[in-house]
């Protein structure tokens, strides 16, 4: 019976969280072998179904506790069409040691989110967001997924 209550609490919490916020785009790209090579450009396609307005754009990383650095530099390119909107940014994500996790049993990923900036989107506009890392090391280990999400 105790497990039933725990399960119902989990389902209710998930439903409540999923209904909150104005998230309009959310996509993660899984990296093979949990490595991000400097030649890998991750591309996220924005469809024309997004409502008109100004959106906050975030980059999210899922890291394992063995990630060897305390920061990550990323280049972000946003290209929208009709009308044309182009924006290039350099993003620095700094990690606290505690945020990388201390548990080593089972699967332990921490998720780090960083606000890239605000993007004005007009009705019917489509586009792409491209990400690639700017670190001096060619291959970055211990990065499981890289995602982009936007909210109004």
Look at the block and give the residue holding tokens 């001096």.
Answer: 136
Alpha-helical (H) ranges within 52-101 are none
State pLDDT tens for residues 99-111.
Answer: 445 444 455 677 8
Q: Which residues contact 101 (CB under 8 A, 6 or more apart)?
A: 64, 65, 108, 109, 110
Please state, for a pLDDT cut of 70, what percent of the chain lies above it: 77
Distances from the Cα of 102 to the Cα of 33, 142, 146, angstroms: 21, 14, 21
CA dihedral 28, 29, 34, 37 (to 10 degrees): -130
Model confidence band, residue 54 (pLDDT cutoffs 50, 70, 90): very high
- How far from the centroid of its chain's Cα atoms is residue 74's Cα? 12
Give me the pLDDT at residue 123, please: 85
- How far from the centroid of its chain's Cα atoms is residue 68's Cα? 19
- Rounded to a whole number, what is the largest CA-CA distance in the chain? 58
Q: Residue 89, SS3?
A: strand
State pLDDT tens for residues 61-117.
Answer: 998 888 899 899 999 999 998 888 999 999 998 887 654 454 444 556 778 888 988
The count of residues in the chain is 152
Dist CA 24 CA 49 (whole Å)? 9
């Amino acid at each position: 019976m105790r497990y039933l209550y725990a399960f119902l609490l989990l389902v209710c919490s998930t439903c409540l969280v999923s209904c909150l916020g104005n998230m309009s785009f959310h996509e993660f790209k899984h990296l093979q072998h949990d490595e991000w090579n400097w030649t890998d450009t991750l591309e996220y396609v924005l469809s024309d179904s997004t409502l008109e307005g100004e959106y906050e754009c975030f980059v999210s990383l899922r890291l394992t506790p063995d990630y060897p650095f305390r920061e990550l530099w990323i280049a972000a390119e946003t290209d929208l069409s009709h009308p044309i909107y182009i924006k290039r940014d350099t993003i620095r994500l700094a990690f606290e040691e505690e945020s990388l996790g201390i548990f080593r049993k089972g699967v332990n990923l921490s998720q780090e989110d960083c606000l890239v900036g605000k993007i004005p989107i007009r009705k019917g506009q489509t586009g792409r967001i491209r990400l690639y890392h700017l670190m001096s090391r060619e291959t970055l280990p211990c990065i499981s997924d890289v995602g982009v999400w936007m909210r109004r």
